[in-house]
Structure 1
Amino acid sequence: MRSKLPHTGTTIFSEMSGLAAEHKAINLSQGFPNFEPDQALRDRVQYHMNHGKNQYAPMAGVLELRQKISQKIQNLYDVVYDPSDEINVTAGGTQAIFTAISAFVFPGDEVIVIEPAFDCYHPAIELIGAKVVSYEMSSPDFKVDWDEVEKLMTSKTSMIIINTPHNPTGSILRDSDMKALISITLNKDIIILSDEVYEHLIYDNEQHCSILAYPALRSKSIAVFSFGKTFHCTGWKIGYTVMSSALMKEFRKVHQFNVFSVNSFVQHGIADYLADSQTYLSLPDFYQEKRDLLSKYIQNSKFKLIPSKGSYFILADYSQISDLPDTEFAKWLTIKNQLACIPISVFYQSKKQEKLVRFCFAKTEDVLHKAGEIIQSIV
């Protein structure tokens, strides 16, 4: 039997979570919280489930939710996007990314991906019959040299994928990065796909530089967001995407035959919940406490901390502990020390080795303390 993804197997996330369960390890590998969404949000979702919102939602998403999203964007980034034809609710960020790539990338095209990169980008590009062109960031800064990115651009480049705050590194793009991106794509027919699912998880008084805030990129940009990441409900698989009406017309051609629509009662519940902006504006403080807690343990260990400015991930350099390749080290840490993490080489097409592992700190304090004690005990 032929395979469209012959080199793709089970994701590292499933593998490490399975290993964690088998060895009863603390699971800081897969990126999900171990705590529940706000009771107020769950109450609104249950209310709408119990009051008739159980049939198909509109293809673009419940209008009340799209209106709330539009208002949220205006409040945050001082730009107005039309709820009717510039905002679409999706079945999570991954579906939005897959649909965007399917709609705008053609066989034979080239897509520039900034690595390390979340693992859903490459397969979507390959399924289309396009080519991944990798730009590799390096530890410890994980900064983008935009002049080098520009050198990768050819007449076949149809899309550049960016991610800020960044998974897995915790780095962020700043205003200077966005202006450089504007400069290198000026007068070029290139779509910018901006994965911003961690937009509210940003620390140390840094500002999230959303692609939506840059008018020069509006006609060519697609921004992807996740309510699952924002409201601690990753299992609900609900997000949204924002783009110009011209781009949205093409996006919806694919979206309608992909999932068509997203579950109704959750959309109505989130629409209600978004009335209070503190539900998301309070997140930096909430998660920074968790980041700082785990960071202190790492700093007082033989690991070397790579500071995280955003997302709910933090990297640690284990070069003073082991010479093992990172995947083998991650398995050793899980099996022998009952602490699961993710190796960073899996996020590079080249499997680049920098002796780094990723920990997820979207956990309750008791779990972070236990994990931290294990980290400090390793010699």
Structure 2
Amino acid sequence: MVCVLGVVLVPSAAVAQDFSAGGPLWYVDAMKIQAIHDAGITGEGVTIAVLDAGISPDVATLRGADIEVRQLAQCPDPVASVPTAFEASSHGTSVTSLIVGNGSSDSGSGPVGIAPGARILYYGALQASCDGNAFPAAVADAIAEGADIVSMSGGNTRLADELSQPAADAVAEALRGGVLVVAGLPNADSVWEGELGEVNGVVNVASVDAMAHAATRRDGSPMTNDDVDIVAPGVDLAGLGWDRTWGMSTWSGNSAATPIVAGLLALAKEKWPDATASQLLQSLIRNTGSTPHELEWTRTFGHGIANATRLVQEDPAQYPDENPLFTDGQSPTFDEVYSAPEPSASEAPNAQANAGPGVLPWALAGGGAVVVVVAVTLILVIRRRRGRGVATGSRDMLG
């Protein structure tokens, strides 16, 4: 079964190494995840907030995982009321399993999480019965609870139409706190619009199959999107509940690729704890493919296919401490996120002198302590490349 949100994705013709023989776990081999785990890098010490619909946290795949379900006043309880609530909880359970799954299921093998050592804060913010403030509320709570990464696989037209500015404000607050925000782009022919697709600073994720081909529309043409930043495995991946059992089944879509990227960022953050959020983003988009290359961008692959091995091997400190995912004409603007606040009248004169518009506050991820200031004049925003062609090596998932 290959279906998510009612969209069937058709893999394209093979032109690269084919990992599909690995079945639903092909992404583990393609990205050499086991070798990274064997080296002791599992995402331990990193907190990921997952925003989705319902979840069944007691399934075999999630046993032993560090998952805290956070209740929102704007939403009902996301924990499935009955074990067979597949329609309500298969999406959220599958997403979470791709981050912290232990490799088991009711049928034996199951989803292997990219960052099984990570802590999960789970929010049912995408349930249909949530009110319009669920997303900003979830992000605010995640920041307060120490999240390093926010991952959201999904959305709907109600959120896109009514919450664009509150969503942008919530993302801006997260970015100011050093929190990375990862979101799935809409699938082709989808009935929903990406709430965060045009919000600046967000890592917008699309998907590829086991042959490094972009997921396709129903007519066989590759998916394209003006806002794609990175692509990752997302076609025929291990999931749960899609065949109406809690055994391993397959599912596809940008929703599946999004937790893969969130998990990879968790691995990189554990490996390089002193890197800033902006440096981790720089490393994510610069280390696509198997060899170093200049930044390039296409509407199909964004900056390329995320490469797990290179992401954990390359020290992010070599990259600028500048968020590279800002585009002109979208909100929040770079200055709205990173400019220093205007000093209040009650501040001492020397504090006012040191906190004017020429400096930026940078905060530790998940905390509120300002640690360093950087001159605005030194900030160079890397605009998305609208050039032609795919970045060198961008269709190679291996290190």
TM-score bin, normalised by smaller chain: 0.3 to 0.5
Q: Which has the higher contact order (CA 8 A, sep 6+)?
A: 1
TM-score (norm 1): 0.33
Bigger proportion of residues as helix = 1
